[in-house]
Amino acid sequence: MTSKEIRQAFLDFFESRQHHIVPSAPIVIKNDPTLLFTNAGMNQFKDYFLGNSVPEFKRVVDTQKCLRVSGKHNDLEEVGVDTYHHTMFEMLGNWSFGDYFKKEAIEWSWLLLTEVFKIDPDKIYVTVFEGDEKEGLPFDQEAYDEWLKWIDKDRILKGNKKDNFWEMGDTGPCGPCSEIHIDCRSESERKEVAGEDLVNADHPQVIEIWNNVFMEYNRLKDGSLQVLPAKHVDTGMGFERLVRVLQNKQSNYDTDVFTGTIQEIEKIAGKKYDGSDSKEAVAFRVLSDHIRAVAFAIADGQLPSNTGAGYVIRRILRRAVRYYYSYLHVEEALLHKLIPVLSSQFESVFPELNLQMDFVSKVIKEEEESFLKTLEKGLKKMDDIVRNPQQDRVIVGKNAFELYDTFGFPIDLIRLIAGENNFTVDEEGFEAEMHKQKNRSRAATTVDTEDWIVLSAKDGSDFVGYNDLLIETRVSRYRKI
């Protein structure tokens, strides 16, 4: 099956079980002070779970663009090094808002994976919450019993609070979760039961694909738990991981989700991707991953900038530039050339990229060219610092700040290059220098140019939604910045 067919089969399966298909929310969040980017399918439904609004449909299904590069979920450092954590990924999800619960959710997960997608049941492990006496949380007997109807008891593992209990925050809806893991090792290796040593243990071939969260409690301010009158199901399946399993690959980057972009990079760089652990292969993976995050964030209204969410996007973009410059030896802007491939690949599912293709390419190209101007000098500076460190194996705060301020190196890029040289960064010293500079420039502060301000008639701080997108306005706005 192609990735397109796999996505569609997921949506169709739940649609035929009375789920309403909804579009992905934007990857950029403009109206929630607790979150910069969508990092899970449930974000757009948060108010239903909190009881702040009433859902129009009790059953919903979608594929949600997610970004995990900041806050509670930050996978940036794994990306490209492993083959299954991305910055931007699609989370397939089905929801029940006070409707069906564990029985249906578990049965449908099983039927979809084994009957529609025909995954060999001998490759599947599931986990259920083992309970936590100290917290007064019970073992999830109900989920265990439901799984037992479908799968051998040796394949049902018990997991702790960290992996198998989900909470939105210190208070609010929460509940146990049940995850599905796929053992992609060869048949002979699979004879040895995976068990706890391999499941949830960062094994590159035994990977988590789906999380089923059962919201059944409300955590109160005093820490106690109240049973919710209406129980909800919230699930999230990593689309790229599912495709990898179904296309029988050892890496997400070998699936048709990524091969189009990788082939384009091969053409531009005049090099072949070999899937190894070499720096060059990591660079291929990083580029084909990061371009998605940057492109979809811009298409959803977040321009690269020097503050907040915009700076997160700039950091990802600069990280990618450094990878192609240092490891593929490409010295000209490359990322923007990948946009046509991406936009046609996602045209039917996320049309916002195709609709704004020229704009997105232009923004990325300008960003790349501007960083490439200082990159070489910055890398030389970094080299000098590493050769003559002011402190043994440490990039001192002053040096780190100079790299940041003069050469535009984001701190995580400095950290990355430092690590490659077995150096660490004096982060406190860096922060202190940053603080000093802020004080110096405070007097001359101008208004912070957040990227969407001009677009909102009201006060500029709200995301205005696709219907109100005025691409031309944004182009001219960008020119002004």
Q: Give contact residues for ligand ATP (rule: CB under 6 A).
A: 68, 75, 85-86, 89, 91, 208-211, 236-238, 240-241
146 binds, among Mg ion, ligand ATP, none (CB under 5 to 8 A by kind): none
365 C-beta neighbours (distance < 10 Å), count: 16
Residue pointed to by tokens 């929310």? 25
For 130, the token pair is 């083992």
Shortest Å distance, C-beta 129 to ligand ATP: 13
Q: Which is nearer to ligand ATP, 69 or 360 (CB)?
A: 69
What letter would DSSP give residue 40? S
241's contact among ligand ATP, Mg ion, none, with CB below 5 to 8 A by partner kind, is ligand ATP
Task: Rule CB under 5 A: say whether 356 interacts with Mg ion.
Answer: no
Q: Which is nearer to Mg ion, 211 or 305 (CB)?
A: 211
Task: State the burial class of residue 56 (Cβ atoms within 10 Å of its Cβ: 0-12, 13-18, 19+).
Answer: exposed
For Mg ion, which is the closer residue by CB, 208 or 352? 208
User: What's the full length of the chain, in residues?
Assistant: 481
**Which of the choices Mg ion, ligand ATP, none does residue 236 contact, using the CB cut-off of 5 to 8 A by kind?**
ligand ATP
Nearer CB in complex with ligand ATP: 81/470: 81
The distance of closest approach from Cβ of residue 210 to Mg ion in the complex, given in angstroms and rounded to an integer, is 9
Residue environment code for 176-206, b if the CB has 16+ CB neighbours within 10 A, otherwise e: bbbbbbbbbbeeeebeeebeeebbbeeeebb
* Residue 86 binding result from Mg ion, ligand ATP, none, given CB thresholds of 5 to 8 Å by partner type: ligand ATP
Residue count, binding to Mg ion (CB under 5 A): 2
Binding at 339: pick from Mg ion, ligand ATP, none (beta carbon under 5-8 Å per type): none
Pick the closer one to ligand ATP by CB: 116 or 454.
Answer: 116
Nearer to Mg ion, 211 or 343 (CB): 211
| Beta-carbon count within 10 A of 66 CB | 26
The closest residue (CB) to ligand ATP is 238
| Residue with Cβ nearer ligand ATP (211 or 361) | 211
User: In whole angstroms, what is the distance from residue 233 CA to residue 241 CA?
Assistant: 21
Cβ-based nearer residue to Mg ion, 109 or 211: 211
Which residue number places its CB atom closest to Mg ion?
211
- Which of Mg ion, ligand ATP, none does 209 bind, CB closer than 5 to 8 A by kind? ligand ATP
Amino acid at 38: T
> Rounded to 5 degrees, what are φ and ψ at 447?
-65, 140
Provide the 3-class DSSP secondary structure of residue 109: helix
Strand partners, 386: none
H-type helices in 26-122, by residue range?
A: 46-49, 102-111
Q: In degrees, to the nearest 5, what angle opens at C-alpha 108 toward C-alphas 107 and 109?
A: 95
The b-or-e profile of 74-99 (16+ CB within 10 A means b, else e) is: ebbeebbebbbbbbbbbbbbbbbbbb
Q: Which does 397 bind (CB under 5 to 8 A by kind): Mg ion, ligand ATP, none?
A: none
Nearest to ligand ATP of 240, 367 (CB atom) = 240
To Mg ion, the closest distance from the beta carbon of 166 in angstroms equals: 8
Q: Measured between alpha carbons, how far is residue 260 from residues 87, 427, 442 in Å? A: 18, 39, 47
* Secondary structure (H, E, C), 282-342: HHHHHHHHHHHHHHHHHHCCCCCCCCHHHHHHHHHHHHHHHHHHHHCCCCCCCHHHHHHHH
Q: Which of ligand ATP, Mg ion, none does residue 210 bind (CB under 5 to 8 Å by kind)?
A: ligand ATP
Query: Which of 234, 225, 212, 217 minimizes the C-alpha distance to 99?
Result: 234
* Region of 126-134, 148-156, 200-208, 324-332 interacting with Mg ion (CB under 5 A): 200-208
- What is the smallest separation between the CB atom of 467 and ligand ATP, expressed in angstroms? 29
Q: Does 211 bind Mg ion (CB under 5 A)?
A: yes
Residues 403-462 that bind Mg ion (CB under 5 A): none
Whether the Cβ atoms of residue 477 and residue 298 lie closer than 8 Å to each other: no
Which of 238/304 has CB closer to ligand ATP? Answer: 238
Nearest distance from C-beta of residue 241 to Mg ion, angstroms: 11
Window contacting Mg ion (CB under 5 A); options: 6-14, 39-47, 203-211, 401-409: 203-211
Give the range of 48-56, 211-219, 436-444, 462-470 binding Mg ion by CB under 5 A: 211-219
Taking a C-beta distance cutoff of 8 angstroms, is the pair 335, 261 a contact? no
Please report, as ranges, the residues that interact with Mg ion according to CB under 5 A. Answer: 208, 211
